[in-house]
A and B are shown apart, each in its own frame.
Chain A
Amino acid sequence: MSIFIDKTICNGCKGLPEARCERICPGNLCYRNKNMKAEIRDQSACWTCACCVKECPVQAIELRLPFQICSNSASLKARLTKDKTIWSIWNSQGEKEEFIIKARN
């Protein structure tokens, strides 16, 4: 798995012609299903670029590494403000690390 979409958090970007994750994915992998929830078309086609993770306004998407790469799980989420990117990373023990990095002048 490369991204995990928490359907209980995803609000389907209601009102938008295209979901934000769908609009942004450089590989055209995200889409909205009939229940207005985000899905990924093909996990194996994911670049793990985190673009959808950053774009989701309610942080419904987590970045994970494919099992082939690592058998322990960890996850990463991101939130964008106008000039900063805020990253939260949970390691396999569930401990959280946070980074706040400037992103534009």
Chain B
Amino acid sequence: MDIKYIETDILIIGGGAAGCFAALQVYKKSPRCKVVVMEKAHIERSGCLAMGLNAINAYIHPEQTPESYVDFVDREFEGVIRKDLVLTIAKRLNEVVKEVEALGLPIEKNDDGTYKKRGSRSVRIFGERLKPILAEAVMKTTAKVLNRVVATNFIYDGKKVCGAFGYGVRDNCLYVIRAKAVIVSTGGASGIYKPINTGGARHLMWYCPWNAGTGYAMGIRIGAEMTSFENRFIPLRVKDVNAPTGTIAVGVYSKQVNALGEDYLGCHYQHLGGRKCLTQYRLFATLEEMKACRGPCYLDTTNLNDEEEKQLKEDYLNMNPQIVLLWASNGMGPRKKPVEIRGTEPYVVGGHCQAGYWVDTERRTTIPGLYAAGESAGGAPKKYVSGCWVEGAIAASTALNDIDDTSTTDIDGAIIEKEKSRLSGILNRTIGITPLDARERLQKIMDEYAGGISFNYMLHENRLLEARQLLQCLHKHTNEVMAVDNYNLVEALECIDRIDVARTLVEHLMYRKETRWACYQTRWDYPQKDDEHWLKYVNSVYDIETNEIKMIERPLQ
């Protein structure tokens, strides 16, 4: 394995929504600043935006204000969010959407030129080409984009982050990138839990299967403070193909119905808010319907007209072509048969929920030199794609200001050798654990002991203690993971990262001794919400010396 050395001012890890925006922002503010974007895939189609999007879910329409957006998110998350962070996002949502429109994104408009409302806080877009549009803008800047280079660890001198290591999948090289500031924007984590589709369909999941939580894991490994991992995200999705249900529920106003045809939110869950309930209760109610033998549950699309059915298909082609294929396979459109829905496996994300790095309002993490944006940054749920753009811009501005009087740091050759031998060790091993085995082991432990689908997402201390112990054991075996080729090496690294994320997740799940967020974090042993003790953030720091995860409580801010 050869080594490639690169030096830059700002290194952006992950060229997704947040990362692309960060690169654009640096160029806008300081065109001579040197930027490197390290991207695991190819920035033209990578991460959550690879398939495209049909809506921008965070937008401030005329009758709303940034403050009312914060209140909405606070209500949705039962009073535990970082209001300060959400406010910084809400203030700039409209500005970033305008910028992306100017880059070429078609947005549905009213006759007077304002954006048409699609639900209270979103706009409908024709976003199949969203990622290529962003990527093209980035390529026009002076940023150096390294496609197919997978970040493996930060370069950390014990005090600050001085760059990052990357593995070049195509050239089999170790990239050693020194930087004055590093922005981590690698998205959230899928694949922690056993997925609903397994075997030959194991990657037919909602979240991007290659966002493996590497950004979180790299931070955990250097002792960065993480927040709110226990606020998992479990989306209610179209069964099997995992297409977002908002396209139907918000786009064409369909009701959730059970097998008896009842509008079950309205009939049975008025006490939770009925059809106006919080997002997590839509999932909760659907699970309850199954338990009451009134499932399967559906979105009632049978009363759509021709035009609406066509629009629905087009909206899905812009974001989730799989569902249109499913309709074609069954010879059915949504008008012939209602669309079946169910919860997916849990994910760890900072975009819909709030797992991630603990950051200040300028998006500095607790480690000097390291900034976080997008799904990687915690505390600000419901940021969605537009919020990720805002955070990319904020992190970039902060990094630019902070690097004014710094220079890159020399790196101890021993650190480089260590990372090189870690990677080549995985490639050279001929006996050991395959990534497939490691992944399946992890997913089984998490599913069975940390509230996966097999247990209706329910959590209990006894089970979590078991998970902790099994994960510790699995963690000990990570230095036996082996890979047969470059592609397989990336799979192996993903497994190792997921195990680190899972360990932190389990500690968070165990620590919050109440039930704050239905399904996302429901404790069998503490079934009530306990405002007296738990209106606070649960944070954690991994202690490198002792290999233990230390929990920290922080008051609401």
CA distance A44 to B241 in the complex (A): 14
The reply on B487 being an interface residue by CB < 8 A is yes
- Between A and B, 29 residue pairs with Cβ closer than 8 Å are A2-B203, A2-B204, A24-B42, A26-B47, A28-B169, A44-B200, A45-B202, A46-B204, A47-B203, A47-B208, A49-B50, A51-B51, A63-B325, A64-B325, A65-B241, A65-B325, A66-B197, A67-B200, A68-B197, A68-B199, A70-B330, A74-B325, A76-B321, A76-B328, A91-B329, A99-B313, A99-B317, A102-B106, A104-B129
The answer to whether B328 touches A92 (Cβ under 8 A) is: yes
Question: Which residues of A are in contact with B by a Cβ distance under 8 Å?
Answer: 1-2, 23-28, 41, 43-51, 55, 63-70, 72-76, 78, 80, 85, 87, 89-93, 97, 99, 101-105
The answer to whether B148 touches A69 (Cβ under 8 A) is: no
CA distance A99 to B47 in the complex (A): 25
- Most A CB atoms within 10 A — which of B106, B197, B203, B322? B203
The answer to whether B322 touches A48 (Cβ under 8 A) is: yes
Residue from the list A25, A27, A65 in contact with B326, Cβ < 8 A: A65
Binary CB contact string for chain B from 308 to 349 against chain A (1 if under 8 A, 0 otherwise):
000001100110011011101111000000000000000000
Residue from the list B203, B318, B321 in contact with A46, Cβ < 8 A: B203
Query: Shortest CB–CB separation between residue B525 and chain A, in angstroms?
Result: 36
CA distance A43 to B199 in the complex (A): 10
Closest A residue to B201 by CB, please name it: A66
The answer to whether B328 touches A97 (Cβ under 8 A) is: yes
Report chain B residues within 8 Å CB of A63. 321-322, 325
Residue from the list A27, A66, A85 in contact with B210, Cβ < 8 A: A27
The reply on B249 being an interface residue by CB < 8 A is no
Query: Shortest CB–CB separation between residue A2 and chain B, in angstroms?
Result: 7
What are the 3 closest A-B residue pairs judged by CB atoms, nearest first? Answer: A74-B328, A66-B201, A74-B329
CA distance A92 to B47 in the complex (A): 31
Residue from the list A25, A27, A65, A103 in contact with B128, Cβ < 8 A: A103
The answer to whether A26 touches B45 (Cβ under 8 A) is: yes
B-side interface mostly: loop
Query: Shortest CB–CB separation between residue A40 and chain B, in angstroms?
Result: 12
Report chain B residues within 8 Å CB of A90. 328
Report chain B residues within 8 Å CB of A73. 329
The answer to whether A69 touches B204 (Cβ under 8 A) is: yes
The answer to whether A68 touches B329 (Cβ under 8 A) is: no
The reply on B493 being an interface residue by CB < 8 A is no
A-side interface mostly: loop
The reply on B257 being an interface residue by CB < 8 A is no
CA distance A55 to B487 in the complex (A): 21
Report chain A residues within 8 Å CB of B322. 48, 63, 65
The answer to whether A41 touches B241 (Cβ under 8 A) is: no
The answer to whether A91 touches B331 (Cβ under 8 A) is: yes
Residue from the list A25, A66, A75, A85 in contact with B204, Cβ < 8 A: A66
CA distance A97 to B41 in the complex (A): 32
Query: Shortest CB–CB separation between residue A69 and chain B, in angstroms?
Result: 5
CA distance A72 to B328 in the complex (A): 9
Report chain B residues within 8 Å CB of A78. 321
CA distance A87 to B487 in the complex (A): 31
Report chain A residues within 8 Å CB of B314. 99, 101
CA distance A78 to B325 in the complex (A): 12
Residue from the list B50, B199, B202, B317 in contact with A87, Cβ < 8 A: B317
Closest B residue to A97 by CB, please name it: B328
The answer to whether A85 touches B148 (Cβ under 8 A) is: no
The answer to whether A66 touches B200 (Cβ under 8 A) is: yes
Closest B residue to A48 by CB, please name it: B322
The answer to whether B129 touches A103 (Cβ under 8 A) is: yes
The answer to whether A105 touches B128 (Cβ under 8 A) is: no
The answer to whether B317 touches A103 (Cβ under 8 A) is: no
Query: Shortest CB–CB separation between residue B234 and chain A, in angstroms?
Result: 19
Binary CB contact string for chain B from 30 to 49 against chain A (1 if under 8 A, 0 otherwise):
00000000000110111100
The answer to whether A68 touches B104 (Cβ under 8 A) is: no
Report chain A residues within 8 Å CB of B105. 104-105
